Structure 1
Amino acid sequence: MVSKMKIYFILSLLLAVVKCGQFDLFLDSGDVESLMGLAARLYYVRNNQLNVNAIQYTCEVPSFINTLNLTWISKSTLFYKIVVQSDRDVVVPKLNILTEGTVPDTYSTFTLLLPCVLKSKSANIKVLIKISENWLSDSTDISLTFKKHCVDEHPNETTTTTEMDETLLPYYEQAFFYHMIAGASTLIAFAVICCLTSAYHRDNARDLMIIKGFQNNEVNMFLKSALNSSSKFNQKSLPGSKTNVKDLHECIVELSVQRHRVRLQNIELEGTFGRVYKGSYTDTNGKDEDIFVKTVTDQASAIQISVLLHEGLSMYGLNHKNILMIQGVCVEQHVEPFLLYPNNCNNKNLKKFLQTCKTTENLSCTLTTREIIDMTLQIINGMQYLHKNRHLHKDIAARNCLVNQELKILIADNALSRDLFPGDYHCLGDNKNRPIKWMSIESLEHKKFSTASDIWSFGVLLWELLTLCQQPYADIDPFEMSAYLQDGFRLNQPVNCPDELFTVMACCWALAPNERPTFSQLFVFMNEFNNQLVKFV
């Protein structure tokens, strides 16, 4: 029975493809970023092709989000019928368009309102869209599922005006009021609507149609071109250029290598859906090179794969002795992607290395103050280079650095870090896992990132070096971090930490961003401190 239904569905979809010039349906990047933390579109249908993974994915909608904006277009006349249902009476979903009509021939947005009636439960919302060429023909069904949470996340707070007056406001006033909550005035909303007409032409890197299971000819053609490209397994030198000048597709094409040239060996790190392998790569001349391979497991979703690619390619184009440069990407259909990094010096994760130093009795693992200062100077060098090239790391920490036996440091991207080090990331009810205890006060409260916020994180990294990676603020609840820092509390001075180094940390954690030092100033101070150690040690 199931197989017959699938066959009927596929035939119906093919019929729609033949008759329709172009039909797109997607959740735009603003909503996706609010829901999943990604500035990317989530396509349900693109160029008549159904994104099976997206259709089957139940999108979680937190209690503080009450509207979802879906964008669609059809280049030929298509009729639609929309049915919106809730499996519980805790949510009463509404649409701001008619339930029957024709799909617009230009990019248009309609709003699904999900106001909570009760504050203690969740509900599954099903949006069934029937698409047909005329009113009498067979329709193609597109069923979207959203899970709206209505749990009161701040029960001790006074009820807001929005909650008290929600049932009293007329329907269209509610929609406008929800947009005001999101920070949109009438003028901004008008500008956003204008921008939507050109949104389709934005960066392909912002599309969540990637890589796994999306049956799209455009993607398939891209993958084939990537595999057949003549890109060599080496790092392109792009001095002075910014990584994000290139979109994701261009980077993958330039870095593409053939999968059969990569051999996986032992697992170096492993999480729920991500793994880091040691391996080797054989170039076209038959020469083998030791590498690291970042990849995902079978349990990884398309969104997790997208995050891996975006974060793994974030520092592409940067070239510095203290920066770990990505050297290759394997992206093939129906298999997990590989991100390839050099491993010429038997590098290890810095956090794991420091924890080993703390637990072992081997004297060869004991770090001296001079060695810690030297490692600190290397990190400062790498961060100076990143900031000079207008690149903010946003997650500088020991877990995102590598070290070899000679204590040479490489700063890496943060791809898979949330999965490999889950204890270092926390969600504050906004569906985003962030390194809360490494973040500056302005990043925590206002999501503002700058060179000064990287300086704050560097101060925590320096504390990690001197404590051999103890957990910062171990006794503080993540939800209390902002108030804790605003009250003036900071990390304690580590045992055997020189006063000069703790003074550096304290300067990095200044409440006002403009009162924190720059990496250039830190380099001068740390270099002078190192020279003094050489004289007396």
Structure 2
Amino acid sequence: MGEKFFLFSFLLCLPLAKAGLNFFISQQESFRVLGLVAELAYVRDGSINDVAQHFVVPVPSHIQELCFVWVNADSKAVKYSIFTKDNSMQSVNHVSLNISNQGVVPREPQIFCLLLPCTTILPSKLEVSMKINFTSFNNVTVLNVVMKKDCSSEFRNAEQDVLSKVIPAEDSSFMLYVAVGVAFGILVVSLAAASCFLCPKHNLCHQQPPRTIVPSGTALYSPVQATCNEDLGAATLCVSDPAAHQIVVEDKTSFRLQRNNIHIGSTLLEGTFGSIFHATLQIPCQPLKDVIVKTVKHNAAEMQVRLMMEEGTRFQDLVHQNIYPLIGIVDGDGCRPLLVYPSVTYGNLKRWLLYCRGSLDGSLPHPLCTQDLVTIALHVLRGVQYLHQQNIIHRDLATRNCVIDDQFHVKLTDMALSRDFFPNDYHCLGDNENRPIKWMAMESLTRREFSTSSDIWSFGVVLWEVTTLAQQPYVEIDPFEVGRVLRDGYRLTQPINCPDELYAIMAYCWASSKSDRPTAPQLYRELHQFHHQLNEYI
């Protein structure tokens, strides 16, 4: 502890950077992971801190990701390439980043995270190294960050040892009572851990089951024990106790698919409680079809399952070119439910924009210009306009809830599992609910009012995200302060290289009064006219 205190004391004495590259773990993240109120700086004003580079960051077992902040304040562009390695002795690296492995260090402060999940194929003592090469005018600077995480099952082993010593072999009834008690205790601990994860910044919320009552219909989990098809490639999609949940959704028989029609392939995105897989759908007398499958993991509590199904089936009856359709649902039979969607080439819009940001050196086959960005925004807005025509309020408009195909057509998606896949975009303010604070309108934050006007506010943030290639909004503002600064008139600043006319459209969405904001059709006319003007200059 003395060495750790010396390290952070030394880092706190470093002068603040005035220019150059800066790479650090913020004070807030340091407190979350290490319990220390200090900033861990690896690079200050272009100079590497050797003390920090040799410090092994101990990551607690319940922490699923470690987040860093970086910014290049120098006039010279700095390219980066990141390589991660773990000690799992597997050919596939099981840690991942939520940014591209190579690109350009941003000019404004940006947060990115290294995902550190504990899985059964990883060693109990997980050691991860992250090597970053910074290149500027052929000068290469190498930075190493080392982390250790305890992924052992010591709690379970200790529990078994205690039972074997305390319980007499012949007293089977006593053994049964204790086993039931231990199982109940584990369930309580698991639910508590799950609720804490949903609020990674502040351990103040304990997520409650949604208050929405879903219309009665077909149970997704049958209380009758069933045999599941385990031949699903790399994924095992069954629960140990199918009678533990009774999740019910409206019965849409046309959406029901058989589990043996789905063949799970590679993992596309993984969170703590959920996963997205590439898969194939084989229906008799129909051609094989590539699909995307959303599902929950074994450690998902009833709350996560219920939330995924309620949010994932909101758009199941909608048909529009800019709405991502739900092909079908696989449920019942004692296994985890599956949400099946059509395959899209580029996938999640936010992740694709982050990739494009890392390819600003010209290596992207289709370089993005202002016309492309406005086209993306128009596609999103068409989806919003259609939802409002159907009297549906999205409530979570963001690039993370959009997908893009190989024709650069953007489709608006539901928000199922978004909290799990993008935990840094959601915060709870001690009010038992994890919300996209920095995308929400003032009245939604303060009075829980949601309307077509609050969706328009969120679309303004989406337009800002698209223009900045998925930068985090209000990155410098604590979530607890967002409501206050919005009331004081603070808004997102105009992005670099963003035309004044386009920023004026964003600001139009962020009017304090709902009545002063445009409707979706009005906003579409303004944005479409601006897009037409851009084309006239070519």
What is the TM-score when the length of structure 2 is the normalising length? 0.57
Is the Cα contact below 8 Å between 1:252 and 1:329 reproduced in 2? no
Structure 2 match to 1:304: 304
Q: Distance in 1 between matches of 2:316 and 2:524?
A: 25
Question: Which residue pairs with 1:459 in the alignment?
Answer: 460
Q: Is the 8 A contact 2:419 2:426 kept in 1?
A: yes
Q: Match of 2:368?
A: 367
| SS of corresponding position for 2:293 | strand
Structure number, greater radius of gyration: 1
Q: Within 5 Å, which residues of 2 pair with 1:294-373?
A: 294-343=294-343, 345-360=344-359, 361=361, 362-373=363-374
Paired residues of 1:53 and 1:302 also in contact (CA < 8 A): no
Partner amino acid, structure 2, of 1:349: N
User: Which residue of 2 is the match for residue 527 of structure 1?
Assistant: 528
Who is 2:398 aligned against? 397
Q: Map 1:93-492 to 2 at 5 A.
A: 205=215, 211=220, 215=223, 248-251=248-251, 253-343=253-343, 345-360=344-359, 361=361, 362-492=363-493
Distance (Å, rounded) in 1 between the aligned partners of 2:339 and 2:303: 16
1:265-284: CA deviation from partner (whole Å, max 9, x where unpaired):
11111111111111110012
Structure 1 pair 432–204 and aligned structure 2 pair: CA distance change class (3 A): closer
* Alpha-carbon distance in 2 for matches of 1:470, 1:514: 29
Give the structure with the larger helix fraction: 1
The letter of the residue matching 2:373 is I
Per the alignment, in what secondary structure is the counterpart of residue 429 of structure 1?
Answer: coil
Distance 1:442 1:485 in 2: 10
Alignment check: 8 A CA contact 2:456 2:517 kept: yes
CA distance 1:355–1:491, shift in 2 (3 Å): same
| Structure 2 Cα separation of the partners of residues 3 and 495 of structure 1 | 71
Q: Report deviation, 1:332.
A: 3.0
The C-alpha deviation readout for 1:290-338, integer Å capped at 9, x for no partner, is 1110011111111111111000001111110000011111113432111
Residue 184 (structure 1) aligns with: none
Give the 5 Å matches for 1:13-92.
Answer: 56-57=187-188
Change (3 A) 1:206 1:469: farther
Kept in 2, the 8 Å contact 1:251–1:313? The answer is: no
Secondary structure in structure 1 of the residue aligned to 2:249? helix
Aligned residues: 331
Q: Hey, what's the Cα distance between the residues in 1 that align with 2:213 and 2:477?
A: 40
CA 328–487 in structure 1, closer or farther in 2 if over 3 Å, else same? same
Give ranges in structure 1 of 5+ residues lacking alignment. Answer: 11-51, 62-150, 154-201, 228-246
Considering only aligned residues, what root-mean-square deviation do their CA atoms show, in Å?
3.2
SS in 2 for 1:385: helix
**SS, match of residue 427 in structure 1:** coil
SS of aligned partner of 1:291: strand
1:118 match: none
Q: Distance in 1 between matches of 2:175 and 2:521?
A: 62
Q: Distance in 2 between matches of 1:529 and 1:273?
A: 42
Which runs of no fewer than 5 residues in structure 2 stay unpaired?
1-166, 193-201, 205-211, 230-246
How far apart are residue 250 of structure 1 and its match? 3.0
Deviation string 1:26-58 (CA, Å, 9 cap, x unpaired) is xxxxxxxxxxxxxxxxxxxxxxxxxx9899547
How big is each residue's C-alpha offset from its partner over 1:417-449, in whole Å with a ceiling of 9 and x where there is no partner? Answer: 000000000010112110000000000001100
Q: 1:60 to 1:404 in 2, by over 3 A?
A: closer
Contact map agreement 2:278 2:293 (CA 8 A) in 1? yes
Partner of 2:24: none
Q: Percent identity?
A: 38
Moved segments of 4+, more than 6 Å: 6-10, 52-55, 58-61
TM-score, normalisation: structure 1: 0.57
3-state SS, counterpart of residue 340 of structure 2: strand
